[in-house]
Amino acid sequence: MKKSLLALAVLGAFAGAASAQSSVTLFGVVDQSINRITNGGQTVTQVASNQLSSNRLGFKGSEDLGGGLKAGFWLEGGMSTENGNAGGLTFQRSSWVNLSGAFGEIRIGRDYTPQFWAPVVGDVNGANGIGEGLNYVDFNLGSNAATFVRANNMVQYFLPGGLGGLYGEVGMSAGQNQAGNKHWSGRLGYGAGPVDISVDYGATKTQTSDDFKVFGVAGSYNFGMAAVYGWYNQNKWGNAKQNSYELSVGVPIGAGQARASYGHQTTSGTNADGSSTMMGLEYVYSLSKLTSLYASYGRISNNNGSGYVVEGNGYGAVGAVSSGYNAGVKVSF
């Protein structure tokens, strides 16, 4: 037995030496909460995923090719831990390969589009929670565009680091005969010290002569005692248009952070014209670098034809109030 263990240790040492210039990492997030949600007078208690951070399971790897050149890959799939559904075991969140070096990075595959980031980096809540702004953003205004968040078959270029805080990316997808997937978008920003500001723009071909167009601006400033965030986003398709914005703040308290957000959207030129106002409160307590507890409250007041809901991008009772609160835990690895 001891000889076997010794042999395995020697083989492991040789394997480690052979792969010293490459690495593969398993990573993930498991986020689970208990939610109490009321939409248009109908109340439900549910167990839900993705309320502080999106559940995921993934693999990433890189290899040093020498001369500052690196190759890598990223495979990441989502999952719902309340029912064990892993999306058919597909890597639908991100699946790409890349080459990076002094020139920047070239990335090929399925990934987030550059136009998506304004409502994420400009929100203290990121892209999750019952008090975050993406809950009242219409991702395509009735067009067939499927690229607001991610795009398939995309080629992206990212600027290299070391440009004095300047960063940027541009992505293009030929569509490959997939309706609503022929797309391009770009993002340019500046981040140094406590300040970060960026602007993005994108367009996706639809079944009509009008492209689905996205324009966004985001910014944040960290004062130390508090960090403030803000974003503006406009989605447009022909005569249909949605203007949305949000302001939010994060204040460190003890081992955690208290968060507050306020946002508004107005939609015109669709069958669901109207407006919505959102407010959210949240406290996140860090048990460690990997584990957090949280409690949240969110409310969206809809007017006229709008019917957005707090538990995620979707639609509920027209002209109604959607509100809710939750408590949950997030574990990263």
pLDDT digits (tens, 9 = 90+) for 286-332: 999 999 999 999 999 999 999 999 987 677 889 999 999 999 999 99
pLDDT of the chain, 333 residues: tens digit per residue: 433 433 334 334 334 433 447 999 999 999 999 999 999 989 999 999 999 999 999 999 999 999 999 999 999 999 888 888 776 668 999 999 999 999 999 999 999 999 999 999 999 999 999 999 999 999 999 999 999 999 999 999 999 999 999 999 999 999 988 889 999 999 999 999 999 999 999 999 999 999 999 999 999 999 999 999 999 999 999 999 999 999 999 999 999 999 999 999 999 999 889 999 999 999 999 999 999 999 999 999 999 999 999 987 677 889 999 999 999 999 999
Strand partners for 66: 69
In sequence order, what are the residues at sequence separation of 6 or more whose Cβ sits closer than 8 angstroms to the Cβ of residue 84?
A: none
Report the DSSP pairing between strands 166-173 and 274-286.
unpaired
pTM value? 0.90
In CATH, the number for domain 25-332 is 2.40.160.10
Q: What is the 3-state secondary structure (H, E, C) of 18-73?
A: HCCCEEEEEEEEEEEEEEEEEECCEEEEEEEECCCCCCEEEEEEEEEEECCEEEEE
The number of beta carbons lying within 10 Å of the beta carbon of residue 83 is 9
DSSP state of 240: E
In sequence order, what are the residues at sequence separation of 6 or more whose Cβ sits closer than 8 angstroms to the Cβ of residue 329?
A: 31, 32, 33, 291, 292, 293, 294
Predicted local distance difference test score (pLDDT) of residue 111: 98
In the chain, where the domains are located: 25-332
pLDDT 10s digits, 63-114: 999 999 999 999 999 988 888 877 666 899 999 999 999 999 999 999 999 9
Tokens of 31: 């986020």
At 131, the amino acid letter reads G
Nearest to 89 by CA among 117, 51, 56, 127: 56
Predicted local distance difference test score (pLDDT) of residue 88: 64
Strand partners for 70: 64, 100
Cα within 13 Å of Cα(318), Cβ side? 6
Predicted local distance difference test score (pLDDT) of residue 165: 98
Predicted local distance difference test score (pLDDT) of residue 315: 74
Q: How far apart are CA 54 and CA 103, in angstroms?
A: 31
Predicted local distance difference test score (pLDDT) of residue 87: 61
Nearest to 215 by CA among 229, 231, 228: 231
Q: How far apart are CA 69 and CA 104, in angstroms?
A: 10
* Strand spans (E) along the chain: 22-39, 42-49, 56-66, 69-77, 94-101, 104-112, 150-158, 166-173, 183-192, 195-204, 212-222, 227-237, 240-253, 256-268, 274-286, 291-304, 321-332
